Structure 1
Amino acid sequence: MASSRSASVRARASVTIAFLGVMLVACPTWASPPQPANRFHLAPRAGDAYQAWTRAALHQLTETPSASFEPFMPDPQWVAALLDEPASPYSDLRPAVFSSDVIRGLPGSMQKRRAIAWDLGLDKALTGYQARAQRFSADVETQWPAVRPHIIKAGVKPYYLHRAHEHGGGASYPALTAELAVAAQTLRDWVDSTPESLRDAVGVRIDVLRRFEATGDREPLSADDLAYLADILRGELSMFRAGNVNIFGQRELPAPLRIARAAAASWLAVRTSAAPECHEDGSVNRSHAASRPEDPARPMCFSDATDRAVYAWYLAERNRELAATLDTCEGGPVLCERLRRAFASVAPTWMGAFPRAVMRYANHAEVAELLMAQDVDAGAPGDTAYLHLLQRAHLLVYPGDRP
């Protein structure tokens, strides 16, 4: 029992060291500036490039109905067009993305191509390049270099990741800990952007945030607090605010990819051994790194992996945590069970660019909502009215299906 407790204390100490920057390691440098732009580049500028491109493509399609491209390309086509090695979790972007070359179905603007690749999770977290904070405090600057790039891309305060470890499963639950940290960061953003007089009316609870941030002799977050934070995360996952800027002044990732990067930071922060899967400069060491994100036997080189590859790892890790027995949880069975119960039903789903089936369903749903708003078939019994409404919506969207 004593040795187990000592191990737990040592593990928690290592988390504190990594997150609060006590472990000062020189940031990796290169003898000469790296050259290939498709690998070494900064985050693209803010702005919703995907929406701008879609509108422009729709307009062009209206002007030229016989055009041979699709404004709504499915995800596999985007991946094939933008990645150099689409099947590899460590693929760089195609060199053509950074040129004026014409790529069928893609915007002609290099900035728009880069922004869409970023939003689709096809970029990396190489320190000083894709993960280069424009605004940072001392605690970020002194982060352990292996952890820092993932904190920057996640857009989460290092202190919040540390507090999430304290409130949850610690080293045992990097995925669920990351979800708690991103939820708390979202609540902090809400508190900062909502006038104090309106917070109660719109459900922004600063009391929960204060309990999360509290140090010293404190009560753990209650089941109600955790349920509230889980609801915040559900809301964040249901929205896509493309092109926003995160707390470090860098283009923000979609919420599921932010959680994945935070989970990578949580996992790396408790490592006590060397990381042979990455070279010193953060590039992948393919002789040691996992070739599949879901490989449980070997770790990934997170900094050289694409955001969507880290996301695939995070989902596999999350499933493992939810299936694990509570007696293996470092935070203790009570805290771990409370965290699992609150966040287990959160669905961190992410699909990249929507496939055609989803676009068809969205069109169908929008027309159905319009008919409901117009009170169509209001005189019919409930189930009959609903079936008539769906039938009419389908025929309006797809008139070719009319018998």
Structure 2
Amino acid sequence: MKVSLIVAAAGESRRFGEAKITCEILGKPLIFYTLLPFVRTGRIDEIIVATRKELFRDVRKAKAYLGNVPMKIVEGGCYREQSVKRGLEKARGDIILVHDGARPNTSEALINRILDLLETKEAVVPAINPVETTLRESETGVKRLPRDKVLLVQTPQGFRREILEKAFEMAGERLGEFSDESTLLAEVLGVIPDFIEGDRENLKITYRSDIEIFKNYMMGEVRSGFGYDLHRLEEGRKLYLGGELIDTTYGAVAHSDGDTLLHSIIDAMLGASGLGDIGKLFPDTSPEFKGISSLYLLERTNKLLEENGFWVLNIDSTVLLEKPLISPYIDRMKGNISEVLGLPVERISIKGKRGEGIGAVGERKAIVAMSSVMVARAKTKYLV
């Protein structure tokens, strides 16, 4: 029997603030992680993604990473069941899996369990019981609901094609009343699916904070790296630190813009990930990098890390500079770094220290920056 996967991904994502399926994680849209475990089972014959027209390009971007599984993209509807119905009309499978577009942490084991059961069942739906106290509110107060009688329904939901088609046909103008396919079958056909134990890590992205939860699930090993950079100072040159132009008459002698702080961060990122060093990646003999902004170099470095499954967790930097004080610039520096790396500013620390008139720093002959960077690497199952 052929298996078709229909992905409902046309929601407006109001609570998230932007289209969830296009949110990039390690350089790939969220929809990539949603589709990856299905492709890895080797049991999906086709994928149909129902989404908004303006998101077609992002879905195609995800497809480029997923190999040769046939994929169709259809325009979704105003509500979930309309999107699923449109996907079903394009599907050719005898078995239909329906999945949320913003549910990126589904396990291959759960998918396989559902497909195995569909050999003898006509509708299989994963669900879990809540762990919190569950109450029903009414005008007269609240009533406690037994947790073992409450189901939190998940996806993928699996169906024999005929029963799903019949449910849509019988629903008629009621489409839009149902929050998922299990309620569609129950309320229209009176068919209760076979509910199976779901997965508590089968996260549905709803709020922006859920992305950090997903990254925690993704996280494999954690590494740290140390970066160091030094530049000579000369009068009459510009001085950049953290992407900010510092008000001083002394600037760094350098091939690029000489941003010592960013260079130390880049070196620490490369050291933590084992991907070389700044001199190898951006040689000072290359005309390409003559006078170039180090914010661009930081962006290039971050992309390299993402391509290899790494992301930055924390940055701690110290700048040794006699004059001027860098404290008035630190918030803007942190903002620049945060924007490039997608790292919250509270995970970036920048301190300034003077040379107290001693040595090359104290004599205003040099500037030094040192950075410690912590990175995480995704588990293998999230990588291609």
Provide the TM-score with structure 1 as the length reference: 0.24
* Higher radius of gyration, 1 or 2: 2
More helix by share: 1
More strand by share: 2
Provide the TM-score with structure 2 as the length reference: 0.25
